[in-house]
Structure 1
Amino acid sequence: MLRLIHPAPGGQDGGDPPKRRRMAPAFTDTEMKRLRAALRNLRALYGSWSCLAAVVGVYPKTLQNVASGRKRVSPAVALATAKAAGKTLDALIRPPGAAVRCLVRDDLRPVPRPRGPRCRHGTSVVGPGHATRPAR
């Protein structure tokens, strides 16, 4: 004789599936503010959102939503934006005039501009007079 067994109501485990947790944001509010400003400046340099979107590799509407604050800045868009700007991601989110540590000499120097001279050790961007001082 054939006997059919019905599953328990509510699924096999009897409960609801686990709820998805929200991930912590990758950037702070001030870092997102600086990235949005960089996007707006790049848009002015490239001429249009569509041209910048082609360089970054996303849809133009995505860049508009990120730059206006309707969407959060994802790490992928932030890295692609830094690449389109020809800078590092750290240079985009670092506050203006922040000091950068030379990893070899272990001293702090103010950065006069984002594309300052390179440390002769090749570790970071440093301020004026760094390469002329003798090494320890």
Structure 2
Amino acid sequence: MNADSPTAPRTPPSPALWGRLAVPAGILAAVAGAFAYVGAVDPNEPGHYPVCPLYRLTGLYCPGCGGLRSAHAFVHGDLLTALRDNAAGVAAYLGFAVLWTVWVVRAVRGRPVRREPGRAQMWSIGALLLVFTVVRNLPFGGWLHP
């Protein structure tokens, strides 16, 4: 029987493949569970989640302020509201999806998946979050308030 034939028996994935996919699958399950919870328990209703301590003490928005509302809107398919509540959060959700997909593809192919971000990448991310935080707390950055 030809191996390319549709009726040819397929070999099951090797146990090593399942081992390489266990951690990414666990991470995806945890993230999906968190998004499911935030999607079910509306952060716009008072009393469900604690208030940001920085906002409570200073009245300033941190980079994470509005993140739960953003995730709730994202889960419900309301991308514009998600961006309005926390644009950095939406960028992080999409960045996670890309990095997770690359991780899984590399794991399936048996390639190493460990890649440490460089100093320049970490400084760039930190600088972007700092600029986002400063701009959302200035008078002209009101459109970035959650």
Q: Same fold (TM over 0.5)?
A: no
Q: What is the TM-score normalised by the length of structure 1?
A: 0.26
Instruction: Give the number of the structure with larger relative contact order, counting CA–CA contacts within 8 Å between residues 6 or more apart.
Output: 2
When normalised by structure 2's length, the TM-score is 0.25
More helix by share: 2
Choose between structure 1 and 2: higher strand proportion: 1
